[in-house]
Each structure stands twice: as structure tokens, then as C-alpha cells.
Structure 1
């Protein structure tokens, strides 16, 4: 039995977001180093700030991944049973 209108085959995009964040972090750090070596301080600072934003996003993504698929946001939201095909709602 489903608890709402979510698709049965829904998948979390968190792992993709994690790997895209790692890729972006590598580019931001590379840009910071490259612009610092070239003496472009403004661009180096901009890439450094972008790297900090990406690190913050990665921390949040890892936190959400560790909470698991059945994480409930608070006590006011009741937990739900996982979908079992033998427990079909009436009329399906």
C-alpha cells in the first residue's frame, strides 16, 4: 500500500547529485589553483567560493544518503509500510 501519490518506481537522485558535486568540486578546486597561479585573484576567489558552496552541498547530500530511504521528517508524519504487491489497495 502506498502512502501518497509517489510513483512506485521512484528513485532518489542523491547519488547522481553526489557524483556531479564531486566532479564540480574538482573543477572548482582546479580553477582556484589555476587562477591563483596565473595571478587572477578575483577569479581564484570566485572559484574558491564556488568550491565552498559545492562542499556544503556534498555534506548535505551525504547526510541525506545516510538517513536512508525510509527517513521520516518529524513526529507529525507517520511512518508507512513498504510496498508489498500482495497488499493491493481495493479497486486496482
Structure 2
């Protein structure tokens, strides 16, 4: 159902983001260790920075999931009503 107010009432698919972030976290950790073992410190550092960014993102996703249905509504929660536009 399109209402025209999607940017203001959009909901993030947090569970999908959670699993994609976990996938990225595993690859960043693997890349950091693998590049460090083969003697590529630049690539290891780049993967380490990515690992840090993904960890922060994962922390925010978990925080939003724990805040309840406002951030991750279930199927029984209807979509937000479109904002009312008042014409002067």
C-alpha cells in the first residue's frame, strides 16, 4: 500500500540487516586474520576498520530491536497512518 508518505514513515527491515551484518562481520574478521597471516598489513588494517564499522552497526541494530515494536513491528502492527497535511 503506497500512501505517498513513505520517507517519513519508512520502517527498516532490522532482522534482515542483522543477519547481513553478521555475515559481513564474519567476512571482515576472516579478512583481517587472513591478510595478517599472509603479511599484507594494509589489507588487514582495511578489513580491521571494516570490522569495527560493522560491529558498531550491529550494536545499533540490536539496540533498535530491543527497543520494541516501534523499531521492528510485527505482522500484527498496522502501518503508520500518513501524516495529515493542513492547508492554511
Structure 2-normalised TM-score?
Answer: 0.67
| CA-atom RMSD in angstroms | 1.9
Deviations 1:41-63 (A, max 9, x none): 00000000000000000000000
**Displacement of 1:69 after TM fit?**
1.1
In the alignment, which residue of structure 2 is the partner of 1:35?
35
Which residue of 2 is the match for residue 66 of structure 1? 66
Q: Structure 2 regions of 5+ residues with no counterpart?
A: 72-76, 79-88
The corresponding residue for 1:46 is 46
| CA distance in 2: counterparts of 1:11 and 1:70, whole angstroms | 9
Cα distance, 1:12 vs structure 2:
4.3
- Pair member with larger Rg: 1
Name the SS for the 1:70 alignment partner.
coil
Larger relative helix fraction: 2
Aligned residues: 66
